[in-house]
């Protein structure tokens, strides 16, 4: 259940994965990359991120009545189709059938077995997505919702350029959270 998520822990997990992605992006074939990815600590963080993304899509798939959700889901599935090279066709056949081709079960399988880079791209697509601003991951906890949105805005901002920026954000996370809670 999303309400049980410790928001600070989620922030640290996300920062850890972003930092890892920035550090090792060029060295995906290296032994060090493989070693880190296989550690239980890293796998736990990765699993939390997968759960977060799955919960996000559960909300979208669930609310069939909302035109905003329908459009948002369609746009996200299109993004995933592109990221995973699901279609490379100019006839628009695939674009019209994305939702039937990428079912909720296929999406779940994709996240479960995804390479970290694909997962990261899916996650950053969620961050960049306009509709996110109107979606609710914590519908009954407004404070958590506000914290999450501010955090994701910060993470997606132009201030974050490299690993040092992520480390700075990690070290100032308590202050960052307190500032948002006060305002």
For residue range 35-80, what is the model confidence (pLDDT) as tens digits? 777 788 878 878 888 888 888 888 888 877 777 778 778 888 888 8
Of the two residues 21 and 159, the one the predictor is more confident about is: 159
DSSP letter for each residue of 39-62: SHHHHHHHHHHHHHHHHHHHHHHH
Number of domains in the chain: 1
At 1 the pLDDT is 45
The answer on pLDDT for 3 being more than 60 is: no
At 129 the pLDDT is 46
At 131 the pLDDT is 45
Tell me what the mean pLDDT of segment 127-147 comes to: 61
pTM as predicted: 0.58
Q: Give the model's confidence band at 11: pLDDT under 50 very low, under 70 low, under 90 confident, else very high.
A: confident
Of the two residues 168 and 134, the one the predictor is more confident about is: 168
Tell me what the mean pLDDT of segment 22-26 comes to: 65
At 68 the pLDDT is 72
Whole domain around residue 117: which residue ranges?
A: 2-182
Q: Is the CB of residue 171 less than 8 Å from the CB of residue 15?
A: no
Q: Is the CB of residue 99 less than 8 Å from the CB of residue 73?
A: yes
The answer on pLDDT for 146 being more than 50 is: yes
Looking at every residue in the chain, the average pLDDT score rounds to: 74
Tell me what the mean pLDDT of segment 14-31 comes to: 70
Contacts 24+ apart (CB under 8 A), 59-62: 59/135, 59/136, 59/137, 60/135, 61/104
Region of 89 (left: φ > 0; alpha: ψ -120 to 50; beta: rest) is beta
């Amino acid at each position: 259940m999303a309400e049980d998520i410790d928001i600070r822990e989620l922030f640290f997990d996300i920062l850890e994965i972003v930092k890892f992605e920035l550090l090792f992006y060029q060295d995906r074939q290296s032994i060090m990359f493989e070693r880190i990815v296989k550690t239980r600590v890293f796998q736990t963080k990765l699993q939390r991120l997968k759960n977060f993304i799955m919960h996000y899509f559960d909300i979208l798939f669930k609310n069939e009545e909302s035109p905003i959700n329908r459009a948002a889901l369609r746009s996200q599935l299109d993004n995933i189709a592109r990221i995973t090279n699901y279609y490379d066709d100019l006839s628009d056949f695939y674009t019209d059938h994305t939702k039937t081709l990428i079912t909720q079960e296929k999406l779940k399988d994709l996240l479960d077995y995804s390479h970290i880079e694909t997962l990261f791209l899916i996650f950053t697509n969620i961050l960049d997505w306009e509709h996110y601003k109107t979606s609710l991951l914590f519908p009954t906890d407004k404070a958590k919702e506000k914290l999450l949105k501010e955090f994701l805005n910060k993470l997606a901002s132009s201030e974050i350029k490299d690993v040092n920026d992520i480390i700075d954000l990690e070290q100032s996370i308590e202050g960052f959270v307190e500032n948002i809670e006060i305002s």
